[in-house]
Amino acid sequence: MSENQSPRESLEFLKNRFREYYETNNVELPDRFGRREFAFVLFGGKGMIRHLAYNKKTDIKDFLVERAPAHTYYSSAYYKNPDAQTMQEKNWMGAELIFDLDSDHIPESKNMSYTESLEIVKKEFYKLVDDFLLNDFGFEEKYMDLYFSGGRGYHCHIRDPKIMDLDSNERREIVDYITGRDLKESLVFHEHVTEIKSYGGRVFAGGKSLKMPTPQEPGWKGRISRGILDIVNEIKKSDNPIEKLQEYGVKSSDAEKLVMELSDDRMNRIKDGLLDQSKTIRKFFLNNALRKTAVSMSAGETDEPVTCDVKRLIRLPSSLHGKTGLKVSRVTLDTLNDFNPLVDAVVFDEEPVKVDLNQSFKMNMKEKDFNLEKGEQKIPTYLAVFLIGRNIANLI
């Protein structure tokens, strides 16, 4: 770090840019905001300022301009006394159903760039909303608000009156369904008699196979079937099926065995809806179809998804994310595919800023390619905010 760099000056730079944004922009407040708890994390501050409540929009605006927080949150829950200092004293009245999809929930994103991870989490989010929430659960779009989080993912808020009183266990059941937790083979497939034999005047099944549901069936049955057929097609089209299986996490020795068992005849039987009873084949297709079609909603088995929490704090729409400077931006299912966070959620201008990068950096932002070397650089304000927020640069 050069002598004229100062973390304090860098934080002041971020704080001043955030203040300018809040001075000239009104944030989007949730319904019945007077019943919500508000919380803030300040630049350079330790911990969270919380248990705050506001009855006037202007009071929230005044706080944002005066303190220019790095992160701004509000409660998904409604309370009779939202500014009470203990959760019990707040007196819970109900809560929205919140889905928070973050790129670090998705195993494939670990080795991806920030830009690549934003793309993959967007696809997962679309699947969550369209396939599960709208189709399987039948939630109405009028009760659904979708947002880019400003960081690494997307939020879905469901305000349907029917779900406001659900407790944590009931919300966990929704998560278990979406993630396919404990999905049993017997719930998806049924035995199909392929051969009938008679012996001593008695008729019995001489051969059986597992019958797959049709891809058109609703819920998990059709979803698993579509996932299996996708995998079959990928393997059949692959020039190197063993390598393709390894991409699915199959060990090299197991992949070789599986390819030997997946004869053309068996592959065609699977495409016809008959899942061979070979345990190796059955386990592979069920597990990977489940992985392909379920939604990852937490970073691991012990990480409690946001959805289960009836008192969760969530980012305030149209506030700024302190680690990127990007805006928590409203999207719709129709606009989601074309939404580009590194264009549409950028709020700062092109004014050049001198920074010192602690590593080389490459990214496209505001439809401009940046390929920066370590050391002193002059870059637009929006990129400077992003890099300083992510501790990749400091102000000079």
Global pTM reads 0.86
- 338 and 281, same structural domain? no
Q: Over the stretch 346-362, which tens digit does the pLDDT of each residue have?
A: 999 999 999 999 999 99
d(CA 131, CA 47): 38
Q: Over the stretch 186-212, which tens digit does the pLDDT of each residue have?
A: 777 776 665 555 666 665 555 566 777
pLDDT score of 177? 93
pLDDT score of 277? 56
Domain that residue 165 falls in: 26-177+300-346
- 159 and 80, same structural domain? yes
The stretch 289-309 carries a mean pLDDT of 77
Active site residue 303: yes
The stretch 236-246 carries a mean pLDDT of 87
Residue 394 has pLDDT above 80, yes or no: yes
Q: Is 99 exposed, middle or buried (0-12, 13-18, 19+ CB in 10 A)?
A: buried
* In a domain? residue 38: yes
* In a domain? residue 4: no
* In a domain? residue 11: no
CA distance between the termini of the chain = 10
Catalytic residue among 102, 136, 272, 344: 102
- 120 and 205, same structural domain? no
Q: Over the stretch 17-42, which tens digit does the pLDDT of each residue have?
A: 999 999 999 999 999 999 999 999 99
Catalytic residue among 62, 100, 131, 230: 100
- 30 and 169, same structural domain? yes
pLDDT, greater one: 191 or 383: 383
Question: Which sign, positive or negative, has the C-alpha torsion 173, 175, 178, 179?
Answer: negative
pLDDT score of 5? 42
Q: What is the CATH number of the domain that holds 100?
A: 3.90.920.10
Residue 142 has pLDDT above 70, yes or no: yes
Q: Is 334 exposed, middle or buried (0-12, 13-18, 19+ CB in 10 A)?
A: exposed
Last residue of a domain, one of 313, 328, 346: 346
- 268 and 173, same structural domain? no
d(CA 113, CA 244): 23
Last residue of a domain, one of 293, 322, 357: 293
Number of domains composing the chain: 2
- 98 and 55, same structural domain? yes
* In a domain? residue 379: no
pLDDT, greater one: 292 or 200: 292
- 289 and 314, same structural domain? no
* In a domain? residue 172: yes
pLDDT score of 371? 97
* In a domain? residue 374: no
The stretch 275-297 carries a mean pLDDT of 79
Catalytic residue among 59, 62, 130, 303: 303
User: Strand pairing partners for 101?
Assistant: 154
The stretch 103-132 carries a mean pLDDT of 91
